[in-house]
Amino acid sequence: MTTMTTAVTEATGIPTGIPTNTVAVLPAVSSGTPAAMLSAWSLVAVLVGLAVAIGWALYARAVRVDRLHRQVLGSRATLEAQLVHRAEAAADLATTRALDPASSLLLTRAAREALDAEGPIVDDGLDTSPRLDAATDAAGVAAGAVRATRSRALIESDLSRVLRTVVSESARCELSEDPLSRPALSRLDRACSRLILARRFHNTHVSEAQALRSRLLVRVCHLAGHAPMPQTFDADDDTTPEAQPTHDDEVQPR
């Protein structure tokens, strides 16, 4: 009997002391454990990959928001420079002798106010380095505080209106005929054209940044951080001379 038991044990590899039902379960458990572990690792790998993909997508969107903010600031610096160029050209034109004294004084005041204006051209908090004059003493700081009560957009709009009034069609003809005034007029025309393009580019970048930041994902995940929402520069930059009334436009008496 002992010899037969030993032979069975050697043939099957299963000790004779283990119950039959337990022996039946062991192969199933042994074969199922690697599959379960493989499934668990696959699930972990999928979750990690999904988390990495979501994180990368959020990072890429945050980088795009930051890039648009930088584009807004870059175009705003260009717009700032073009505003200064136009004011300088207007001040230069005001010194020509082709303009009458009243028009020259009016244009000088508007141009000087635009040149002396301080602070950012758009008060949205995005530009943290406003333009300041070179060196100001206590009186200059006080004067700057008074000037800061008017927005840059309003000051530049006033200069545009003065240019439309002073550089009328008749005045433009006189300035063009004067050899000393012709270069100043050409410089002013170039500055006004470049200003229109600069303001258009700036507002286009601002619109793109606003559209991206208005999306649900950017707002929910706070991808813009604490950066304020960029705003457009809304000012009157049209310097086209006002049309002079003709005899046909006059109301005929009855």
- Share above pLDDT 90 across residues of the chain, in percent, rounded to a whole number: 54
- The verdict on residue 62 lying in a domain is yes
DSSP letter assigned to residue 201: H
- The verdict on residue 153 lying in a domain is yes
- In this predicted structure, what is the pLDDT of residue 129? 61
Helix axes 101-116, 20-94, angle to 10 degrees: 150
- The verdict on residue 163 lying in a domain is yes
- In this predicted structure, what is the pLDDT of residue 16? 54
Domain tally, the chain: 1
Token pair recorded at residue 194? 């470049």
- The verdict on residue 42 lying in a domain is no
Q: Is the confidence at residue 121, as pLDDT, over 80?
A: yes
- In this predicted structure, what is the pLDDT of residue 146? 45
Token pair recorded at residue 68? 């648009």
Distance in angstroms (rounded) separating the CA atoms of residues 148 and 154: 11
Burial (CB count <10 Å: 0-12, 13-18, 19+), residue 254: exposed
- The verdict on residue 81 lying in a domain is yes
- In this predicted structure, what is the pLDDT of residue 40? 81
Which residue segment(s) compose the domain that 190 sits in? 48-124+146-220
Dihedral angle sign, alpha carbons of residues 160, 161, 163, 164: positive
Question: Residue 19, Cα to own-chain centre: how many angstroms?
Answer: 78
Query: Euclidean distance between the first and final Cα of the chain, in Å?
Result: 144
pLDDT, average across residues 112-119: 92
> pLDDT tens, 129-176?
655 444 344 444 444 544 456 899 999 999 999 999 999 999 999 999
Give whole-number Cα distances, 242 to 56, 161, 163, 164, 190, in Å: 55, 10, 10, 6, 19
**Mean pLDDT estimate for the chain:** 82
Q: Is the confidence at residue 74, as pLDDT, over 90?
A: yes
Token pair recorded at residue 6? 């030993």
